[in-house]
Each structure stands twice: as C-alpha cells, then as structure tokens.
C-alpha cells in the first residue's frame, strides 16, 4: 500500500477487540456523530485497511453519519490458504454484534450496518447472505468452529467479485512467469491429484501443498495453501459441482446461481438491497468473460426474474477500474466508486 493513498500523519480511529485475538479498526472523524457502520472485508492476502481505496471511502464518509471498520479475521494476511468461508462469516457475525453493542452504548442506537466486500470479501458477503443461518457444516479439519447466528444487515456491497478458478484457467492458457501453458497444466494436474489424495486420506486435518508448486500460479511464496482450500479455489469439478469458493465463475449454471444469489431474499438477512460493482478492467477477469452479461445473470437470480427487488440499480461496471483500483491511473475510478457508495448509503440512512 503506497503512501500516496493514505495520510502520512496516519488515520485517527479506535481499535476494537471483538474477540480476544481479533480486532477491527474504526476510522473516525473525531467529533461527528456516526451511529451507522460499514464493515469492510478485503480479499485474499488483505488485512487491516490494506485495500488502498479504503482511504478514499473513509474520506468520503467524513461528512456523513457512517464510520468504517476494517477487521482482521483468522484468514487475514498470509493465513487465507488455510481459511474457509464459514469461519470468515462466523467471525464477521461476531464483529457485527460488537459494533452494534458499541454503537448502541455510545449513541443509544445500534444504527445501520453495511457489509462491503472487495474481491474474496465479496465471497464473504454473498456467503453471509445466502447460506443457512447459522451454518450447518461441521468441518472435521476445523473442530473448534462454533457457528454463530448471523445478525441481519441493512446493506451489502460487493466490489470486484471474481472467479479464482477462471483466473487460474487464464494463467494456464496464457503462460506465467516464464512457464508455458503445458508446464502449468502439468503442475495444476499434479496439485489437484495431491490435494484430492490428501483430503480423501484424512478428513480430520488440512495439510499444506508444496509452496514451490503453488507459487507457479502467482500465489505468494510466503503463503502456505492447504489441500482443501486449493480445491475450493480452483474447483476442479466445476461447473457441474462448484466448490464453496466458486461463486462468481461465468460458466456456472442458473440452477447453481439459484442456490447462491437466489437465496439472498429467502434467508432474510438483507434489509435493503445488494449493490454489485465489477471493475471494468479487472486484471483477474479473463477477456472471454462478458461482464455485463454476467451481472445480468446475477441480477435475474437475485431478483427471481423480477419477483424481488433487492438488486440495487446502481450495480454495474466501474469504468476503467483495475481489480483493487490501486494503480497510478485509478483516481477517477476511485471517485466513481465513492460516489456510488455514498449514494447507496444515503438511501439506507433514510430508511426506517
């Protein structure tokens, strides 16, 4: 994260412990009353306020009644390779409860709460809103997991929802880091075979794949990736049987979309609407993906072909935006994003 995006003097705020070991930083303006809250969720490898455009959103919120919280989760930073969405959203639920209790004690009201996800944070938003509440899985590799009842939220924003599976496929078709497509395909097949064998052999633990192999696809050399998470991200049985993490691939059928986007209204955890903003020039989205068509399919699944009006009309592409809007030429896309977010929040703030 470059200093060009953040004040050199630092950012004022409050560090909250929402569990004994997990924290969330609340950016505050110091004097303004801010009873409403945004919980911002970054992507793979992100941690406390590491998504650069958060600074732009925080600046835009200064004249509003909203403050932004950036949490750390068990899967933050280099720990995403052993994470999973059930644990993420359970911890998000704990953080939301803390925020609501804190705001109620401070302002006499818990205020409105919006989940705002970037990249894999978008997977967390959709998982939070679409899965059974509480979660029903009992993963043997995560025996200490105690599913939390997830509070309803007032809004959900997803920015740069991308398919990890299609990104890997694109890398394999194009070549990467001096390796040819055939070499990458060989490595991919080896990793899938190793991961399948390890998971089938022992369901109670989650073993690590060789970093020397996973780094060939762009995964960081300092980040261990487990067999189970790798299979979830690359989802080798898709599109017929998508894994937990395969939510946004363009080839997923309408029947499967009905089980994810289509469940948002049924779960009843979203009080207002879902706003989805794809980056117009997202480096992680293959050039064969028609973004407008994909958004239209997600909208139809979410709204059940018009029966429910929970897809926000402001959803769409952010023109010329890179994946995280972090390049030197991204000032206008960041302004565009902030305008969309502020308009969305203004509507929520006026609702009873």
pLDDT one-digit tens code per residue, 180-227: 999 999 999 999 999 999 999 988 889 999 999 999 988 999 999 999
pTM of the model: 0.95
* Alpha helix stretches (DSSP H) within the chain: 54-60, 85-107, 120-130, 164-174, 181-201, 211-214, 227-234, 254-257, 264-267, 291-303, 331-349
Quote the percentage of the chain above a pLDDT of 90: 86
Of 203 and 343, more confident: 343
Q: What is the pLDDT of residue 236?
A: 97
Q: What is the pLDDT of residue 151?
A: 98
Query: How many whole angstroms separate alpha carbon 182 and alpha carbon 71?
Result: 40
Quote the percentage of the chain above a pLDDT of 70: 97
**pLDDT tens for residues 61-73?**
999 999 999 999 9
> Do residues 151 and 97 touch, judged by C-beta distance below 8 A?
yes
The pLDDT of 298-313, averaged and rounded, is 91
> Do residues 286 and 167 touch, judged by C-beta distance below 8 A?
yes
Question: Do you know the residue count of the chain?
Answer: 352
Q: What is the pLDDT of residue 308?
A: 79
Number of CB atoms found within 10 A of residue 167's CB: 21
**pLDDT tens for residues 133-166?**
999 999 999 988 999 999 999 999 999 999 999 9
In order of their start, the domains of the chain are 3-163+250-349 (3.40.50.1820), 166-234 (no CATH)
Backbone torsions φ then ψ of 234, nearest 5 degrees: -90, -20
Query: How many whole angstroms separate alpha carbon 60 and alpha carbon 58?
Result: 5
Measured CA to CA in angstroms, residue 293 lies from 192, 198, 239, 327, 344 at distances of 30, 38, 17, 26, 23
Q: Which of 82, 80, 64 is nearest to 72 (CA)?
A: 80
Q: Is the pLDDT of residue 123 over 50?
A: yes
């Amino acid at each position: 994260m470059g200093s060009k995006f953040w004040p050199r003097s630092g950012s004022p705020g409050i560090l909250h412990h929402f569990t004994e070991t997990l924290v969330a930083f609340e950016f505050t303006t110091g004097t303004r009353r801010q009873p409403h809250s945004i919980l911002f969720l970054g992507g793979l490898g992100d941690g406390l306020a590491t998504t650069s455009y958060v600074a732009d959103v925080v600046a835009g919120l200064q004249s509003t009644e909203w403050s932004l919280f950036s949490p750390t989760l068990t899967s933050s930073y280099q720990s995403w390779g052993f994470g999973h969405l059930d644990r993420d959203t359970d911890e998000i639920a704990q953080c939301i409860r803390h925020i609501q209790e804190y705001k109620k004690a401070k302002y006499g009201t818990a205020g409105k709460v919006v989940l705002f996800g970037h990249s894999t944070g978008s997977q967390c938003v959709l998982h939070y809103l679409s899965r059974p509440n509480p979660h029903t899985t009992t993963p043997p590799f995560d025996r200490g997991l105690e599913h939390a009842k997830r509070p309803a939220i007032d809004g959900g924003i997803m920015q740069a929802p991308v398919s990890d599976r299609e990104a890997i496929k694109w890398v394999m078709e194009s070549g990467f880091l001096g390796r040819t497509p055939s070499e990458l395909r060989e490595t991919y097949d080896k990793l899938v075979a190793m991961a399948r064998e390890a998971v089938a052999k022992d369901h109670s633990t989650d073993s690590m794949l060789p970093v020397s192999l996973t780094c060939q696809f762009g995964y960081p050399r300092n980040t261990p990736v487990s067999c189970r998470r790798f299979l979830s991200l690359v989802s080798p049985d898709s599109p017929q049987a998508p894994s937990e993490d395969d939510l946004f691939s363009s080839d997923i059928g309408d029947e499967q979309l009905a089980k994810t986007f289509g469940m948002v209204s049924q779960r009843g955890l979203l009080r207002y609407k879902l706003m989805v903003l794809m980056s117009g020039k997202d480096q992680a989205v293959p050039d064969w993906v028609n973004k407008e068509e994909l958004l239209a399919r997600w909208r139809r699944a979410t709204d059940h072909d018009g029966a429910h009006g929970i897809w926000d009309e402001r959803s769409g592409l952010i023109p010329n935006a890179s994946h995280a809007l972090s390049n030197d030429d991204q000032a206008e896309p960041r302004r565009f994003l902030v305008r969309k977010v502020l308009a969305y929040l203004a509507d929520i703030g006026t609702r009873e």
